[in-house]
């Protein structure tokens, strides 16, 4: 049976800097990277839902072109626009626009229609108040994954609340939240804490396991890697694979999939860059 996945996240436009210099303007967001990873690896049917602005609409064109069916909704602003600046091993992420709130009613309606095998809840900067996962868990999918980054960037107290809630898998990163905040609030779900190319910690019912990631290629700019890793890990676990095996396979496959995904969206960048040149953000 074909895997059906729903990704709850707005599309983004990403201004990517390397050492302070603009390297590219790219379509982005968790749905694009996670969705393409699931399509490439599992031939999944992928849906996405989240607010779309008049600028981030260009990313939805790319999503639909590569097989991600966005069932989102429009709002009057530009949408989610980010600046990502990579300097050595560090990354600075700044929202360049107001991120509109996720409409809980629309998300629940979409989930009830597509009834996915897995749902990945991946807000990007405080646009979800920490309640939607409670509505989605068990009611619309047997498998719920949460990426904590958007909660942590918006309000760390909401992030801590989400960590203690119900889910199948939660991904947290050293870029977004301190490990002690995660460990001290671990719930009955599986928590996976990543540190870039460093060790990965798995908390499974308060049992702590640390493994080294199996990374084929180290990239100077890793936008989208966390989204891919989270989606793959959730999918493997939902399919019944052992947690440690799922994490190992996902870490091994992430960099190569990221390279392939970037190639697949490269042809859309000129359209995006020419479209935004005369727009004020």
Domain for residue 125, yes or no? yes
pLDDT at 281 over 60: no
Q: Mean per-residue pLDDT for 59-83?
A: 90
Residue 177 sits in a domain whose CATH number is 3.40.1190.20
pLDDT score at 142: 78
261: three-class secondary structure by DSSP: helix
Residue 278 lies in a domain: no
Does residue 280 have a pLDDT over 70?
no
Q: How many helices (H) and strands (E) does the chain have?
A: 10, 15
Has residue 186 been placed in a domain? yes
In this structure, is residue 194 part of a structural domain? yes
How confident is the model at residue 155, as a pLDDT? 86
Contact present, 202 and 178 (Cβ < 8 Å) = no
In whole angstroms, give the CA distance from residue 257 to residue 264: 10
Is the separation of the CB atoms in 230 and 122 below 8 Å?
Answer: yes
Is the model more confident about 216 or about 125? 125
Over range 9-20, report the average pLDDT.
89
In-domain check, residue 21: yes
Strand ranges for the chain from DSSP E: 4-8, 12-18, 21-28, 45-49, 51-52, 68-70, 73-74, 80-87, 90-95, 118-121, 144-147, 169-173, 190-194, 200-204, 207-211
pLDDT tens column, 125-148: 888 888 888 888 878 777 999 999
* Residue 251 included in any domain: yes
Report pLDDT digits (tens) over 17-35. 888 888 888 899 999 999 9
Which of 35, 34, 15 minimizes the C-alpha distance to 25? 15
pLDDT at res. 209? 92
Which residues form the domain of 90? Answer: 4-268
> What sign results for the dihedral spanned by CA atoms 26, 29, 31, 35?
positive
Helix (H) or strand (E) holding 255: helix 243-266
Q: How many domains does the chain have?
A: 1
Residues 174-189: tens digit of each pLDDT: 988 899 888 877 677 8
Asked whether 160 and 185 are in contact (CB, 8 A), the reply is yes
**For the ranges 5-14, 75-84, 114-123, 245-254, which has the lowest average pLDDT?**
75-84
Q: CA–CA separation, 54 vs 78, rounded Å?
A: 5
> What percent of the chain is modeled with pLDDT above 70?
93
pLDDT in tens, 237-271: 999 999 999 999 999 999 889 988 888 887 777 76
Task: Examine residue 261 and state whether it is found in any structural domain, yes or no.
Answer: yes
In a domain, 228, yes or no: yes
pLDDT, tens digit, 9 for 90 and up, residues 28-57: 999 999 999 999 999 999 999 999 998 899
């Amino acid at each position: 049976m074909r895997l059906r996945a729903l990704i709850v996240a707005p599309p983004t436009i990403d201004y990517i800097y390397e050492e302070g210099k603009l390297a590219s303007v790219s379509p982005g967001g968790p749905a694009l990277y996670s969705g393409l990873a699931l399509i490439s690896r599992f031939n999944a049917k992928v849906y996405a839902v989240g607010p779309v602005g008049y600028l981030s609409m260009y990313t939805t064109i790319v999503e639909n072109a590569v097989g991600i069916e966005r069932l989102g909704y429009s709002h009057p602003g530009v949408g989610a626009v980010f600046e990502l600046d990579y300097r050595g091993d560090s990354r600075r992420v700044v929202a360049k626009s107001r991120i509109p709130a996720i409409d809980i009613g629309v998300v629940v309606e979409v989930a009830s229609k597509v009834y996915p095998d897995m749902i990945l809840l991946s807000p990007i900067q405080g646009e979800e108040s920490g309640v939607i996962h409670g509505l989605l868990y068990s009611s619309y999918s047997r498998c719920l994954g949460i990426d904590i980054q958007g909660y942590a960037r918006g309000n760390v107290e909401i992030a801590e609340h989400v960590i203690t809630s119900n889910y199948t898998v939660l991904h947290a990163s050293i870029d977004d939240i301190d490990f002690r905040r995660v460990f001290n609030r671990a719930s009955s779900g599986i928590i996976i804490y990543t540190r870039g190319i460093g060790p990965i910690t798995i908390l499974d019912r308060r049992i702590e396991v640390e493994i080294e990631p199996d990374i084929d290629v180290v990239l100077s700019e890793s936008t989208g890697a966390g989204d891919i890793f989270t989606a793959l890990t959730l999918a493997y676990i939902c399919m019944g694979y052992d947690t440690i095996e799922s994490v190992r396979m996902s870490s091994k496959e992430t960099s190569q999939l990221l390279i392939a995904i970037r190639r697949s969206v490269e042809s859309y960048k000129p359209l995006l860059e020419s479209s935004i040149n005369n727009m004020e953000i």
